[in-house]
Amino acid sequence: MSPRILLVPSAAKGNGSGHLVRCLALARELGEGASVYAPEAKTSDAWSAAELALAYAREFAGVPLVSALRADHAWDLVVLDRRATSREELAFWARLGPVCAIDEGGEARKAASYLVDVLPRARPLRRTRSGWDAPNLASLGFLDLPAHRRTPPLAFRRVLISFGGEDPAGLAFRLARALVVHGFFRSEALTIVSGALSRDSMPSDLEGVTRLGPVQDLKEHLAQYDLVFTQFGLTAFEAAFAGAGVILFNPSPYHRTLSRRAGFPEIGVLRPKLALLKRYLDNPPETLKKTAAIAPKERRSLASLLASLARASVPRCPCCGRGDRRVVYRDARKSYFRCASCGMLYLERFVSDRDNPYTETYFFEEYRRQYGRSYLEDWPALSAFASSRLNEIDAIARRSLGRSSGLVILDVGCAYGPFLHAARERGHEPYGLDVAEDAVRYVRKELGIPAVRGDFLDAQAAAGFGAPFDVLCMWYVIEHFADLDRALANAAALLRPGGVLALATPSGEGVSARFDRAGFFERSPEDHFTIWEPSRVGGILKAYGFRVEKLKVTGHHPERFPLAARLPGGSKGRFAQAVFGPLSRLCGLGDTFEVYAVREALGAASAGASAVQPARVAPKS
């Protein structure tokens, strides 16, 4: 089934027709399931759906037009091609589906699920205090480039003048008049393309100038001309790719800034600078050289990219469910956001799920590539970690439950069971839950400990063990839940008051995240849906009825400090351990941390949680 994609171009008067033309072309290429939105009502500053459909009747042919929207009408992807979108407008579109913004210059740039820059930006891309300015992907190759191309002309004889569907500043006639009056060209050499939304008639003093329009699929006619005059926008790059010379005459200083940043020959704003114009026209080889250097070097399918993004995750915080956020990192496969409500860092990813990544391969081949040994070969180290963690759990349970032996423990994501084995050795009653069938089978058959295969997000997954539990553990598991709210609500429901929630997770405040922020997000696995930070964990868990008793920063890597990385190889390890090891521990800069929290009164838990309390039995093998 084709994804349902809603394309939303700018309909504002004065914004030109490039946004609409691009969306119509994308809709035709996407085919079934794609629709274009235009507002039904006519206003003083925006074109109505009826006006646009009449002006672009041929382009709209076969493309479904949506002019009325319902809040309950869901789309697999909403594509905004609007030049600038406010946060309030983005919030509306995000309720209909994940949002991909194209060439976005407004507030939506820092909050849209996915961001594509086709045209160059006016300012250099950078990370700012208010968010990440770089797009997920940027390429001129995403333009709908012409199929017809030409060899560079030897002279500028045939000239095309095109300023979009509206040309509200009247640039086409103004420029044509200057070209003729000042003797740059005879009127017969000039052709003006009128846009579908332009209502100006040809001035009487431009007799002999050819006027065409509207022209369907203008880009395929550009190769017939030696020189194209236009403003910064799609036509400029299409003409450069077609092999014609390009000179820009812009309606605003903003467009001129874009022209200069891209490297186009340009002759000013609203009034052509004749000296510049003469220089470019007197030296066609140099003008053509500059134009050719700007032309896109490859073709890339924007429609294929949009189709691959459809059915992305819901654009809201997986913890509190709120949609207000700002982006902190983007790349081609994922975006990370900071929730403005609860502060959680979370992932929106744009890659296909593996059927079940946690197979035998995950614990053996993949584990060996990362740690140099398989999961089972790492058993002694894992057992040592388990013993240390049980010391913390026993101490807290002694205070909160009045006992530290015979604790009923559920280990969520138990893998092959080193923690379960250590817990049983201490005299506790352990149970395991994991999505990996091979691991669960090993725990039951080889260790003789009750374990089931299941997803913890299913409230019934642990029902066979009974509830409540004294202890619920998640060792490097909590970050894997796309629906964190349900995971924490289930944990609260399964623990008795005074019970201990123990978890370990990567830190978003460790040395790697602090000193190589972009690299940290780039390397973060695509199945880690949340990134936890020690400074925020107490507030997040409190909302689910937990009180943090102890937070232990682990995973110290002194060699990852920037200065240590620049030291000579022989002295690096010793110096880093001596100097940056204590500093890492003092400042809590480990790349992982452990949390031990106590379940408070049942009334403090999430309202959505429901306890499952059958009699405790060992599930059948």
Residue 131: per-residue pLDDT? 54
Would you call 425 helix, strand, or coil by DSSP? helix
The pLDDT confidence band at residue 602, using thresholds 50, 70 and 90, is: low
Q: In what order do the strands lie in the sheet with 190-193?
A: 210-212, 190-193, 159-162, 227-230, 245-250, 266-269
- The fraction of the chain above a pLDDT of 70, given in percent, is 90
CA distances to 16, 127, 199, 257, 425 from 105, in Å: 15, 15, 28, 14, 61
Condensed to tens digits (0 to 9), the pLDDT of residues 224-237 reads 999 999 999 999 99
What's the whole-number mean pLDDT along residues 521-546?
95
CB 348 within 8 A of CB 318: no
Q: Is the pLDDT of residue 197 over 50?
A: yes
The pLDDT confidence band at residue 617, using thresholds 50, 70 and 90, is: very low
Q: Which residue has the higher pLDDT, 438 or 17?
A: 438
Tell which residue, 471, 490, 466, 493, has the closest CA to residue 409. 471
Partners of 148 in the β-ladder: none
Residue 125: per-residue pLDDT? 62
For residue 80, give the H/E element and its range: strand 77-81
For residue 430, give the H/E element and its range: strand 429-434
Q: Is the pLDDT of residue 141 over 90?
A: yes
CATH code for the structural domain at 406-555+590-604:
3.40.50.150
Residue 419: per-residue pLDDT? 97
Which residue ranges does the chain devote to CATH 3.40.50.2000? 159-294
Q: Is the pLDDT of residue 431 over 70?
A: yes
Residue 70: per-residue pLDDT? 74
Task: Compute φ and ψ for 319, nearest 5 degrees.
Answer: -95, -60
Residue 352: per-residue pLDDT? 67
Residue 251 CA to residue 253 CA, distance in Å, equals: 7
Residue 71: per-residue pLDDT? 67
Residue 29: per-residue pLDDT? 93
The pLDDT confidence band at residue 608, using thresholds 50, 70 and 90, is: very low
May I ask the CATH class of domain 159-294? alpha beta
Residue 127: per-residue pLDDT? 59
Looking at residue 109, the DSSP 8-state letter turns out to be G
Tell me whether the omega of the peptide bond preceding residue 120 falls within 30 degrees of 0, making it cis.
no
Q: Which residue has the higher pLDDT, 73 or 468?
A: 468
Residue 328: per-residue pLDDT? 94
E strand map for 194-264: 210-212, 227-230, 245-250
Q: Is the pLDDT of residue 456 over 80?
A: yes
Residue 205: per-residue pLDDT? 83
Which residue ranges does the chain devote to CATH 3.40.50.150? 406-555+590-604
Q: Which residue has the higher pLDDT, 617 or 13?
A: 13
Residue 302 CA to residue 309 CA, distance in Å, equals: 11
Strands 334-339 and 325-331: antiparallel
Q: Of 105-109, 160-164, 333-337, 369-373, which gets the smallest average pLDDT?
A: 369-373
Strands 334-339 and 345-349: antiparallel
The pLDDT confidence band at residue 466, using thresholds 50, 70 and 90, is: confident
Q: Which residue has the higher pLDDT, 48 or 485?
A: 485
Question: What rounded mean pLDDT belongs to the chain?
Answer: 88
Tell which residue, 351, 315, 320, has the closest CA to residue 110. 315
Q: Is the pLDDT of residue 512 over 50?
A: yes
Residue 581: per-residue pLDDT? 83
What's the whole-number mean pLDDT along residues 157-181?
91
Q: Which residue has the higher pLDDT, 607 or 260?
A: 260
Residue 605: per-residue pLDDT? 44
Whether domain 5-143 has CATH 3.40.50: yes
CB 163 within 8 A of CB 172: yes
Residue 583: per-residue pLDDT? 87
In order, the DSSP letters of 542-588 are: HTTTEEEEEEEEE---GGGSHHHHTS-HHHHHHHIIIIIHHHHHHHT
Q: Is the pLDDT of residue 619 over 60?
A: no
The pLDDT confidence band at residue 12, using thresholds 50, 70 and 90, is: confident
313 is written with which tokens?
């995750």
577 is written with which tokens?
């351990």
Residue 128: per-residue pLDDT? 54
What's the whole-number mean pLDDT along residues 56-84?
87
Q: Is the pLDDT of residue 493 over 70?
A: yes
The pLDDT confidence band at residue 469, using thresholds 50, 70 and 90, is: very high
User: In angstroms, how far is CA 485 from the centroid of its own chain?
Assistant: 21
For residue 498, give the H/E element and its range: strand 495-506
The pLDDT confidence band at residue 201, using thresholds 50, 70 and 90, is: confident
What's the whole-number mean pLDDT along residues 414-443?
95
Q: Is the pLDDT of residue 162 over 90?
A: yes
What's the whole-number mean pLDDT along residues 256-268?
94
Residue 557: per-residue pLDDT? 86
E strand map for 206-260: 210-212, 227-230, 245-250
What's the whole-number mean pLDDT along residues 181-201?
87
Q: Is the pLDDT of residue 215 over 80?
A: yes
The pLDDT confidence band at residue 567, using thresholds 50, 70 and 90, is: low
Q: Is the pLDDT of residue 470 over 60?
A: yes
CB 404 within 8 A of CB 397: yes
